[in-house]
Amino acid sequence: MLDNNDHSTPDGGTTRRRFMEATGGIGLSAALGGYLASEPVRAKRTSERVRTLVSEMSLREKIGQMTQVAAYEVGDDPTAFFEEYQPGSLMYATTDDPVGLAEDVNELLDASIEAQPHDVPFVFGIDAVHGNNNLDGATIFPHNHGVGATWNEEYARRTAEHTSETLRATGTHWTFSPVADLQRDPRWGRFYEGFSEDPYLSSRMVAEKVRGYERRESGYKAAGATIKHFAGYSEPRHGDDRTPALIPYRTFRHAHLPPFHAGICAGAETVMVNSGSVNGVPAHASKELLQDILRDELGFEGLVVSDWHDFYRMVAVHGFADDVKEAVRLGINAGIDMYMVPAADIESDTVDTYQTYLRELVESGEIPTDRVDDAVANVLAFKEALGLFEDPYADPGRASEVGGGARDLAYEVAADSVTLLQNDGTLPFDPEVGTVLVTGPSADDVANMMGGWTLGWQRVGETLPPAVTPLDGIETAVGDATNVVHEPTGLHEFDNESAVREAASDADAVVAVLGEGPYAEEHGDTDTLELPAAQRELVRTLDSVGTPFAGVIFAGRPRGTDVFDRLPAAVMAYLPGTMGGTAVADAVFGNVNPAGRLPFTWPAGTGQLLNVHNAYPPELFGTGETPPTSTQEPLFPFGHGLSYTEFEYEDLRVDPATIPAERANRRIVTSVRVTNVGSRSGDHVVPVYAHRRGGAIPSPMTEVIGFDRASLDPGESTRVNVRASIAQLATVPGDVFSKDELRVLPGEYAITAGDWEEERTLTVV
């Protein structure tokens, strides 16, 4: 429970954010550090410097601070541009050359500071979402759904720390990451940008990624993080990006908000708003979302930035405002502090129109001056936290040193994410197998292992990131002992069937690397989870040949349905980035024992969506009473993941066994003895699940309430102690449309661990 003590900042300011940073740690419950606490809502007190600046700035300067524009819009005469618009933020790299970017940003900073009456520098932002993925030579880490599969939040922190180091060295102060949206619908093109469908697993990852980006350097935060997209963005009813979401309050509160709250507790400086509408209201126009929930309930005190041209979208897409000026009024009054108006290609929504509208609206009193001052204070406080008033510049010398590092880390994350979906004993292959055929569309394709947001929005452009493909990785893994043959196929074409058939017949083992090509945002929306026909055909061909074969999947979501009927063994490798090929080769040839677990449910098809493990009962499979047409049985359940060894569980304990409801966010220790009873060493993730048995408001069928990952040699046994909290099962009591406070309801909670069915009971009184 949080207290009422004063938590002053060194300059005398008090922020709830700082207090939450200091107290809302992972220790108790990352998702709910403070979530259930009766926190006082404090008035924000900004620093003396920020207060003075706000009081001295002209309206023109203030409007500038509330503007974010793409660096490529600055043009050939930066001084003239900065004098005219004085943007508080620039975004997007001017070049993919790290040194060139550092130099460009430094030059732009000179021009902007010169033009800014109070010498306030801009803050420079980029989407560095899986490494510093806009820059040539940068190490690319797995996308977030792969990080989720490791169940090891240290990876979220360490990859973000490395990214943060390379950001600051290349002139970038701010990354629009991490995504705190839950992955509930795999049709959605942004599924891979989130960590998990589970609120608690996501929360732990989000918190650590924020901490990693915002690590301190010389007393300031090295880079600012953005938790996005607030909120409810990931569950558009039709699965298509930026189409309306309809989310019951109970689900919204219980499932969608915790990862944001965890990011806020970890200190996230900024929040980006959901471009879509929730229950009919565009998030950008929602005071309820941006003020009542984000500020008053979750305690966020940082900067709220819009997403791309979303005031315009309020008119053109949502039909919610009559014109962009009206949208500006709605958006700023709802709580947007900075408008992302990057490009001048939309005539009715340029930096010029936005600034003109905002000025007119303030002058007419339709936007109160206090709201503008509050927004500007948030922008300036962010810059202050980053140390930009002291030194906004990059050292181009460092830029050349830092890129391309952390490959070992990239390998570890990719290897620990690899998830063995099924295996009839085919895997691992013997590195001395003789001849191995490596085939499929992604066997040697850098773009397919990266996904979107990698040196390009939709796919890798001309500059390829450093990458070890599966073909490279397998060649290294087998050394001279085995002959490697490569027969590529296409994502959507399979016009070399006879060559593949022949090569497969001649081989002793076949690895088929399947899956999706890269995509981002709405371009990735899909109506099917089947693999393309060409790949299904490839699998049929390999199946008919009879040589032992395994499928590896690179995809941004659970992609593949009936294909699993014919795959003797299958591995999910997510979008693993630079070291993906080494990780895959090591898993397939047994140097690594796969231990990843799915951070999402793998549905049998789109017909059964939304199919998530934390749905409400009844469970529509396994009862024997369900008509066959309504089966919800997924192909692979949430948390699924096999190993080359076997683990046995015994002696599950829960301590304490009873807790009072008002102390529900108190830590409980769940422990279980795990023994490696197989013949190989291996890691084993132990998720702890809970659900409430019965009650007026049913609890979701399973929820993760804690997890740990252990390494065990053959025959080794250990007691895995998992710090958990029942607070994750807090729900909104009351009737269908209740908006009551989130609470942990008294009752009996069933606790299980890992794949073991035995239950213990925790009683909340």
Structure tokens at 489: 């196929």
In DSSP terms, 338 is beta-bridged to 305
Catalytic residue among 96, 307, 349, 445: 307
C-alpha angle 511-512-518 in degrees, rounded to nearest 5: 135
The distance of closest approach from Cβ of residue 277 to ligand NOJ in the complex, given in angstroms and rounded to an integer, is 14
Q: Are 271 and 294 in contact (CB under 8 A)?
A: yes
CB 466 within 8 A of CB 533: no
Name the 3-class secondary structure at 13.
Answer: coil
- What is the footprint of ligand NOJ within residues 127-166 (CB under 6 A)? 127
Question: Strand 717-724 to strand 668-676: parallel, antiparallel, or no bridges (unpaired)?
Answer: antiparallel
CA dihedral 13, 14, 19, 20 (to 10 degrees): -100
Q: At which residue do the structure tokens 């049998």 appear?
A: 604
* Helix (H/G/I), strand (E/B), else coil: 244: coil
124 in Cβ contact with 92 (< 8 Å)? no
| Minimum CB distance to ligand NOJ, residue 516 (Å) | 20
Contact 548, 505 (CB under 8 A): no
User: What are the residues facing 764 on neighbouring strands?
Assistant: 659, 747
Which of 32, 303 has the CB closer to ligand NOJ? 303
Q: Would you say 152 or 275 has its CB closer to ligand NOJ?
A: 275
Report in angstroms how near the CB of residue 233 gets to ligand NOJ at its nearest.
Answer: 8
Q: In whole angstroms, how large is the CA radius of gyration of the chain?
A: 26
CB-nearer residue toward ligand NOJ: 14 or 243: 243
- Which residues make Cβ contacts (< 8 Å) with residue 173, sequence separation at least 6? 123, 124, 125, 167, 223, 224, 386, 388, 392
Contact call for residue 389 and ligand NOJ (CB under 6 A): no
**Least separation, in Å, of the C-beta of 275 and ligand NOJ?**
6
**399 CB contacts (<8 Å, ≥6 apart)?**
98, 99, 101, 102, 169, 170, 171
Instruction: Let me know: does 746 contact 765? Beta carbons within 8 Å.
Output: yes
Whole-number minimum distance, CB 308 to ligand NOJ, in Å? 4
Residue 307: CB minimum distance to ligand NOJ, A: 5
Q: Which residues touch 179 (CB under 8 Å, ≥6 apart)? A: 129, 144, 190, 193, 194, 195, 227, 228, 229
Beta-bridge partners for 672: 720
Closer CB to ligand NOJ, residue 305 or residue 414?
305
Site for ligand NOJ in 203-222 (CB under 6 A): none
Distance separating alpha carbons of residues 371 and 368, to the nearest angstrom = 5
Applying the rule CB under 6 A, the residues between 256 and 275 that interact with ligand NOJ are: 275
Partner residues linked to 550 by β-bridges: 511, 569
Q: Token pair of 174, please?
A: 């701010």
What gap in Å lies between CA 576 and CA 285, rounded to an integer? 37
Is residue 72 part of the contact set for ligand NOJ (CB under 6 A)? no
Query: Is the sign of the CA dihedral 667, 673, 678, 679 positive or negative?
Result: positive
Q: Which is nearer to ligand NOJ, 241 or 703 (CB)?
A: 241
Question: Which tokens is 584 given?
Answer: 């895959």
Residue 553 forms beta bridges with which residues?
514, 572
Verify binding: residue 349, ligand NOJ, rule CB under 6 A: no
Closer to ligand NOJ by CB, 308 or 756: give it.
308
- Residues 551 and 571: their CA atoms lie apart, in Å, by 6
Which residue, 307 or 326, is less far from ligand NOJ as judged by CB?
A: 307
Residue 469, CA distances (Å) to 93, 237, 366, 458, 575 in order: 27, 36, 57, 19, 12
Q: Does 228 bind ligand NOJ (CB under 6 A)?
A: yes
* Cβ proximity to ligand NOJ, 308 vs 393, nearer residue: 308
Q: Which of residues 591-650 bind ligand NOJ (CB under 6 A)?
A: none
Is the CB of 72 or the CB of 393 nearer to ligand NOJ? 72
The verdict on 176 binding ligand NOJ (CB under 6 A) reads: yes
In the range 489-528, which residues lie near ligand NOJ by CB under 6 A?
A: none
Q: Residues 293-312 vs ligand NOJ: string with x where CB under 6 A?
A: --------------xx----
| Known catalytic residue at 119 | no
Minimum distance from residue 551 beta carbon to ligand NOJ (Å): 31
CB-closest chain residue to ligand NOJ: 176
586's enclosing H/E stretch is helix 580-588
Measured from the CB atom, the residue of 525 and 586 that comes closer to ligand NOJ is 525
DSSP-H helix ranges across 217-350: 249-251, 257-265, 287, 310-316, 324-334
Closer residue to ligand NOJ (CB): 232 or 596: 232
Which residues of the shown chain bind ligand NOJ in the complex (CB under 6 A)? 127, 176, 228, 275, 307-308
Q: Which residues are catalytic?
A: 307
